[in-house]
Structure 1
Amino acid sequence: MGLRDDLERYREVGEARRQDLSEFIQYGDLGQSLPEEVRIPIKIVDLPEFAYDRLDQGGVGQGQGGTPDVGDPVGQPQPQPGDGDGEEGQAGEEGADHEYYEMDPEEFAQELDEELGLTLEPKGKRVIEEKEGDYTDITRTGPASTLDFEHLFKEGLKRKLAMDFDGSYVREALRVEGWGPDEVFAWAREKNMPVSRAWIVDAASEIPETERDRWASIEEMEAEVEEETPIQRIRREGLRQIPFRREDERFRYPEIVEEREKNVVVVNIRDVSGSMREKKRELVERTFTPLDWYLTGKYDNAEFVYIAHDAEAWEVEREEFFGIRSGGGTRISSAYELAKELLEEYPWSEWNRYVFAAGDSENSSNDTEERVIPLMEEIPANLHAYVETQPSGNAINATHADEVERHFKGSNDVAVAYVTGPDDVVDAIYTILSTEDNE
């Protein structure tokens, strides 16, 4: 194994030992990542390198000024490249390129699925292309090249089996003493034989007079002669002819397959009122950021809308969303009113929608029951979610999450999660992503 193979092996080891995904979400530095690039810290990885013992200067020809005589003082070892702080590019800095493992949102979503046991399957909505699929549909007309010969053959074979009868068996009935075409035809009808009276008349004319009393009765004939079924006859003689008819013809044509693009719009709502202090804001960021990465990785096209609110609501850019703070009061319904307005640009028939809100559950009196809950019911979405962030536990007036949870209990499109610290973040993400009904 060469040095290049060793380096590659060490890279693989580093990737395998990157920081646990759950630990990264709970405690890692999310700010090192970008919306399209998730950077997961690698815990321990050192690439192999050559290193010299700084105190060992022995060996032939390594002394300064030739080999010293016995009793001569030995000087201090000279600094070697890479000693001390070193200069750029010297030994010891090789591992810097391996401090992070970079993954795109698609890989992040896949790993989170595996780690949390999630089964979210995105739904395609907007039709971007119609194309011909397999030739599975059937019509009565079409070009000869698309004739469904298998169907034609089966219909013809069924007709042959329905029309066929054992002619030798019927002829033996004409040899019953005292029987003529009329008696034989009546007997054949009772036995559901598809034989015409004309065929029986022709067959009777071919039987010599001396053979017309071979059997004393029809019962004797039936006991002595075995009727051969059409299947037995085909196996014995083979299939020489099949009665095809035009009404049996069917022509295959391709089904039209609609290719749908998996589009999603995610509305992130955050309370920025005076009660939302730093720890609460950090918990919102730790919950919402992985959700953004996850949905970006799951969908072909993901767009994000960020809404900040106190008593009023306004749209903001992602860069300000997690850091902005206001000194005002709280009216959560203002954010849902704005969300409803902004979502008009993303028709429900073409876009999957997620509406995620977070705050400390403190809301103005009666706003949750009278305004927020009705607005949540009015806004069609794959999932509505509310994340309560209360590091010190529930405050006396923090009732919004409880009211929402109580109203929508058992619903498969509304999730409520409670986060009191980083340890709760992964559970909150699981609660949200596992709530949506995939049916």
Structure 2
Amino acid sequence: VDIRFNRFDPQPVPNANAVMFCLMDVSGSMGEREKDLAKRFFVLLHLFLTRRYDRIEVVFIRHTHQAKEVDEQTFFYHTESGGTVVSTALEEMHRIIEERYPVAEWNIYAAQASDGDNFATDSERCIELLDRKLMRLCQYFAYVEIIDERESHIFGSTENGTSLWRAYNAVDGKWPNFQMRRIAAPADIYPVFRELFARQPALRKSA
């Protein structure tokens, strides 16, 4: 697989360390199909980063109405019930960065996968966390929303979609290092990945 993108230049911190945060909704609406598509995207991003940095660490955060850091096996294969509160995963990511990954020493990347379901009032909290805390720390944040193949034609416009998608559109408009795409089938993953990482995000904004 050729994953060289000459236009992608995230202006990395001058060190060889990178951490990749994988965030995924594992509530009841995320079935095996959705998790498999998410896994394929995460694997591709990990491969891409390993070619750019000498040292890569991966942090797996899964969530329903609560978020927790887990190992890879638990992240992809253990089932869990409960509602969906996406902001808990963003809060957990920020907590881990503060504790283990100072931005002066680590290049921070995040990939989040969800079907777009979220607690009604939580999407505004997600915007707040991204705007005020996470985006100024991240080299790049990619959000992929897993949709049904039968519904893919409905979401032709980037403005239409779930409450989480609409909320993240606001973030996308403010931060060049935030990108979002939809995935409906395995064939979508590589083209979406190329779209995400062919674009050149700017430097992190200062606090």
- Taking structure 2 as the reference length, the TM-score comes to 0.84
Q: Among 71, 76, 80, which residue is 1:326 paired with? A: 80
From the superposition, tell whether residues 122 and 367 of structure 1 become closer, same or farther in structure 2 (CA, over 3 Å). Answer: closer
Q: Among 320, 341, 347, which residue is 2:95 paired with? A: 341
Distance in 1, matches of 2:145 and 2:199, equals 16
Q: Among 120, 137, 149, which residue is 2:8 paired with? A: 120
Match of 1:390 in 2: 147
Match of 1:415 in 2: 179
Q: Say which is worse superposed, 388-397 or 418-427, in terms of deviation.
A: 388-397
User: Are the aligned partners of 1:412 and 1:435 in contact in 2 as well (CA < 8 Å)?
Assistant: no
Distance in 2, matches of 1:410 and 1:373, equals 11
The structure whose Rg is larger is 1
User: Are the aligned partners of 2:18 and 2:106 in contact in 1 as well (CA < 8 Å)?
Assistant: yes
Match of 1:403 in 2: 167
Distance in 1, matches of 2:73 and 2:200, equals 28
Matches within 5 A, 1:171-320: 260-320=14-74
Q: Tell me the alpha carbon deviations over residues 329-379 of structure 1, each in whole angstroms, 9 at most, x when there is no partner.
A: 10000000100000111111221111211010110002112x111111211
Matches within 5 A, 1:62-211: 111-113=2-4, 117-121=5-9, 123=11, 125=13
Q: Which amino acid aligns with 1:409?
A: G
Distance in 2, matches of 1:411 and 1:434, equals 16
From the superposition, tell whether residues 406 and 342 of structure 1 become closer, same or farther in structure 2 (CA, over 3 Å). Answer: same
Correspondence 1:355 to 2:119: no
User: Are the aligned partners of 1:388 and 1:418 in contact in 2 as well (CA < 8 Å)?
Assistant: yes
Secondary structure at 2:173's aligned position in 1? coil
Distance in 1, matches of 2:44 and 2:20, equals 13
Question: What 5-or-longer segments of structure 2 have no aligned partner?
Answer: 155-159
User: Are the aligned partners of 1:267 and 1:355 in contact in 2 as well (CA < 8 Å)?
Assistant: yes
Q: CA deviation at 1:328?
A: 0.7
User: Are the aligned partners of 1:284 and 1:358 in contact in 2 as well (CA < 8 Å)?
Assistant: yes
Q: Tell me the alpha carbon deviations over residues 16-36 of structure 1, each in whole angstroms, 9 at most, x when there is no partner.
A: xxxxx3xxxxxxxxxxxxxxx
- Taking structure 1 as the reference length, the TM-score comes to 0.41
Q: CA deviation at 1:409?
A: 2.1
Match of 2:123 in 1: 368
Q: CA deviation at 1:122?
A: 6.1
Q: Which amino acid aligns with 2:104?
A: S
Q: Which amino acid aligns with 2:139?
A: N
Q: CA deviation at 1:326?
A: 1.4
User: Are the aligned partners of 1:271 and 1:359 in contact in 2 as well (CA < 8 Å)?
Assistant: yes
Secondary structure at 1:306's aligned position in 2? strand
From the superposition, tell whether residues 324 and 118 of structure 1 become closer, same or farther in structure 2 (CA, over 3 Å). Answer: farther
Q: Tell me the alpha carbon deviations over residues 181-227 of structure 1, each in whole angstroms, 9 at most, x when there is no partner.
A: xxxxxxxxxxxxxxxxxxxxxxxxxxxxxxxxxxxxxxxxxxxxxxx
Distance in 2, matches of 1:366 and 1:334, equals 13
Distance in 1, matches of 2:66 and 2:6, equals 36
Q: Which amino acid aligns with 2:108?
A: R
Q: CA deviation at 1:327?
A: 1.5
User: Are the aligned partners of 1:332 and 1:368 in contact in 2 as well (CA < 8 Å)?
Assistant: yes
Secondary structure at 2:65's aligned position in 1? coil
Q: Give the structure with the higher percent strand.
A: 2
Q: CA deviation at 1:405?
A: 1.8
Q: How many residues are aligned here?
A: 192
Match of 2:157 in 1: none
Q: Which amino acid aligns with 1:411?
A: W
Match of 1:18 in 2: none
Q: CA deviation at 1:321?
A: 1.6
User: Are the aligned partners of 1:414 and 1:435 in contact in 2 as well (CA < 8 Å)?
Assistant: no
Q: CA deviation at 1:424?
A: 1.1
Match of 1:5 in 2: none
Q: Tell me the alpha carbon deviations over residues 219-254 of structure 1, each in whole angstroms, 9 at most, x when there is no partner.
A: xxxxxxxxxxxxxxxxxxxxxxxxxxxxxxxxxxxx
User: Are the aligned partners of 1:415 and 1:435 in contact in 2 as well (CA < 8 Å)?
Assistant: no
Higher RCO, 1 vs 2 (CA within 8 Å, ≥6 residues apart):
2
Question: What 5-or-longer segments of structure 1 have no aligned partner?
Answer: 1-20, 22-110, 126-259
Distance in 2, matches of 1:299 and 1:265, equals 10
Q: CA deviation at 1:297?
A: 1.5
Q: CA deviation at 1:265?
A: 0.9
Secondary structure at 2:143's aligned position in 1? strand
